[in-house]
Structure 1
Amino acid sequence: MAVNRGCSLIFAGFVGVMGWCATVQGESSLTVEQNKLARMEQSLENRLVELEDVENEMLGYEYKLKRAQESLGQARTHYEQTLKELKAAEREHKQAPSTDTERALNKARHAHSMAERGVDSRNRRVEFIQSTFGDLETRMKSSQASVADIKVRVAQQQVLVDKLVKAMLVQAENQNRAQAKAASERKVVEPEEPVGKPEIPAPSVASLTPAEPVVESPEPAPEMAAPQAPAVDQREIDPELLAYARGEQERLEKVLSELEDEDDSGKQTFRNLSLRPSGGEAIDFEFLGRNQYRLVAPVSAGRQTYKINSWRFRRTIPAEDEGVRYVFIFDARRLSRPRLVMYPEYVLSQLD
């Protein structure tokens, strides 16, 4: 019976060790997949912000196109009117040439020439707006496709995470049952048979002779290894995040290089602009020009709410980015719908 009891103890220990190993491995896999899910959700939020910005810009260009077409129509009407006046002045000067008719003819020619220039300039403006509007439509379709693709990936990743969570729960339940069974087997054990008192043999001469102490030779101390430098963070960067950061860097450079009035380019809309994370202290933005503001600050993992003056922006930060420095760019060109761009600072090293 003692053998049975020992077997039960060994089995219980084996079950405990195997359960612990499986739990650790399961938790590690779950953490990895949860980080992937959070990164996908972050990419989805970025693309939705980008799509909203493109849609708002298209609305602005729709209004510009409407006004430009109206102006072009008025210019063409004026052109037709000046053409009639020019023909009438030519007839009058041909029938009865005089200083007055010549002056009227020159005036009509000048008015017609200016009207023709007006039509040309307004026609070029309409063509430019239509071209820009077409580019925005292409960007919108691309953003819509990206959003749809990421939504599918997020849904698939969520299913995978849910399966891992369910598997861990089942595994934990099975482990608890196995441990309970082993514990019950330890309790239901018959009492051990009494063991007789062992006979003590008479001491021999050899046993009475004191033995020489055995001195163990000390093992050579291992050589001290040279201190290693801390490993560089070889973080795997999501291609979607890299593409987003590259696009935002290019957008910012383009905005800052646009030709505008010097007075407007250096004019700050806000005297003080600061970002306040959830439960954190306020951090001031740096003004870049063209209503663009920037700061770099560490972030906390999870669902975060960032308050910028009276605006609130919600973002998802993956667990692996806990304490990582992020780049925040606040685009205040459209105060009715300002835009917050943010991505990890370590991505910038991959953009060179």
Structure 2
Amino acid sequence: MGFNILFGAVVGALTLSFSTALAAADLSVEQDVLLRLQQVSENQQLLLQDKEQSLLDFERKLQDAQDDLVDAERELQDKEQELADARSGGETMARQRKLAEHAVSMAKRGVKNRHKRIQRIEGKLTQEQDILAKARTQLSKSRSNIAKQEAKIARLRDEASAKAARVAKAEQQRQANARPEPKPQVKQTLAKTQVKTQAPVAEPPKLAQVDIPKQEQPKVEEPKPEPAVEEQEAKDQMAALDELARQQAKAEEQRLSEALASSEPSGRQLYKNLRIRSESVDAEFQFLGNHQYRAESAVTGGRHMFKVGSHHYRGTIPSSDAGEVYVFLYDTSRKGKPRLSMYRKSLLQ
């Protein structure tokens, strides 16, 4: 009976210990998922800011085009008045009439072209509005996923704490059941005392001796791990997030290529000896032209505060990317705070 209790306590303790180890592994994976979600969200926030700026640019272009149209329509009215005056002058104004007719024709063409320009800008503006709405939806979804992941991690921590408490309780029970074996001298003293104190009892009739096979003691085996469904889901999620990070890295390289292919690819180097720094990063930017800079550095996992010049930027590196080389792109073409983006270099190799 005592052995069965002890065996059950040992098996229970081993099971709980193994479950606790699995829970710790699951928690580590889930925390890395959270960091990658945060990194994706930061990249989406950067894209959203790009689209908001692009929308402002198109709105400004539309306003300029509308102002040009007003000027063109006013000029057309003036030319039409000149033509009317020339026609009222009879044959003496024949040459002026022809010149006025040509001026009116050109003015009408100018008005027509400005209408077309406005239509093109309005079409692009509508596209930008749709893209911006999608970017906002994606960012909102990412923030929702981050909140869900944080809640999941909190639940796993609570479960891990509960399992650890059960392991400690099982260990206490095991120690209580595992009583020490008496020493030989104590056994002999106890036996003699027991013989003296016992009253003589009639010898019971002898029964036929039957050989009873000895029951083998069950072996304590370490429980085999069962497939962790949540861990597999986390790995699948990591793969999906990795693919999304690859797409974002491609978008950054495409943006850089378009910036360098502009009308002034040489640009002007505003900063010399420009570096990016954090607690674990210190790298110098290379000037590429047209206000674009690039740097590479190995990174550590976690939340970072990067400093470039007098500007500060928050960035998240997943724990699984620790030791990886990251590419940092710095765009100083816009007024105000320059744009900093980053991605794991191996994503595009």
Q: TM-score, normalised by structure 2?
A: 0.76
The match for 1:178 among 147, 154, 170 is 170
C-alpha contact (below 8 Å) 1:274/1:282 kept by paired residues: no
Partner of 1:25: 22
C-alpha contact (below 8 Å) 2:281/2:299 kept by paired residues: no
The match for 2:161 among 149, 161, 169 is 169
Partner of 2:126: 134
After TM superposition, give the deviation of residue 345 of structure 1 in Å.
1.0
| SS of residue in 1 equivalent to 2:152 | helix
Partner of 2:86: 89
After TM superposition, give the deviation of residue 192 of structure 1 in Å.
4.3
Residue pairs, 1:326-341, within 5 angstroms? 326-341=326-341
C-alpha contact (below 8 Å) 2:16/2:166 kept by paired residues: no
C-alpha contact (below 8 Å) 1:273/1:308 kept by paired residues: no
Aligned residues: 298
C-alpha contact (below 8 Å) 1:329/1:340 kept by paired residues: yes
Residues of 1 paired with 2:5 and 2:81: CA distance? 112
| SS of residue in 1 equivalent to 2:306 | strand
Match status 1:63 vs 2:60:
yes
Residues of 2 paired with 1:288 and 1:189: CA distance? 77
Partner deviation per Cα, 1:96-149 (whole Å, 9 max, x = no partner) = 42xxx3443344244334433432443333233222212211210121121122
Residues of 2 paired with 1:342 and 1:304: CA distance? 12
| SS of residue in 1 equivalent to 2:268 | coil
C-alpha contact (below 8 Å) 1:301/1:321 kept by paired residues: yes
| SS of residue in 1 equivalent to 2:142 | helix
Match status 1:247 vs 2:251:
yes
Partner deviation per Cα, 1:272-319 (whole Å, 9 max, x = no partner) = 263433224542222223322222211111110111111111011111
Match status 1:39 vs 2:36:
yes
Unaligned runs of 5+ in 2: 189-237
Match status 1:74 vs 2:71:
yes
After TM superposition, give the deviation of residue 9 of structure 1 in Å.
7.4
The match for 1:153 among 139, 145, 157 is 145
Aligned-pair identity in percent equals 27
Residues of 2 paired with 1:34 and 1:121: CA distance? 57
After TM superposition, give the deviation of residue 73 of structure 1 in Å.
0.8
1:337 to 1:126, Cα distance in 2 relative to 1, 3 A = farther
After TM superposition, give the deviation of residue 190 of structure 1 in Å.
7.4
C-alpha contact (below 8 Å) 2:269/2:287 kept by paired residues: no
Residue pairs, 1:1-352, within 5 angstroms? 14=11, 17-92=14-89, 95-97=90-92, 101-186=93-178, 191-192=182-183, 194=185, 236=239, 238=241, 239-258=243-262, 260=263, 264-272=264-272, 274-280=274-280, 282-349=282-349
Residues of 1 paired with 2:327 and 2:22: CA distance? 34
| SS of residue in 1 equivalent to 2:157 | helix
1:253 to 1:131, Cα distance in 2 relative to 1, 3 A = farther
Compare 65-74 and 271-280 and name the one that shifted more.
Answer: 271-280
C-alpha contact (below 8 Å) 1:303/1:317 kept by paired residues: yes
Partner of 2:210: none
Partner of 2:211: none
After TM superposition, give the deviation of residue 8 of structure 1 in Å.
7.9
Residues of 1 paired with 2:132 and 2:278: CA distance? 32
Unaligned runs of 5+ in 1: 197-234
Compare 10-19 and 59-68 and name the one that shifted more.
Answer: 10-19
Partner deviation per Cα, 1:134-177 (whole Å, 9 max, x = no partner) = 22112101211211222222222222211111111111111112
Residues of 2 paired with 1:177 and 1:89: CA distance? 108
Residues of 2 paired with 1:128 and 1:298: CA distance? 45
C-alpha contact (below 8 Å) 1:237/1:347 kept by paired residues: no
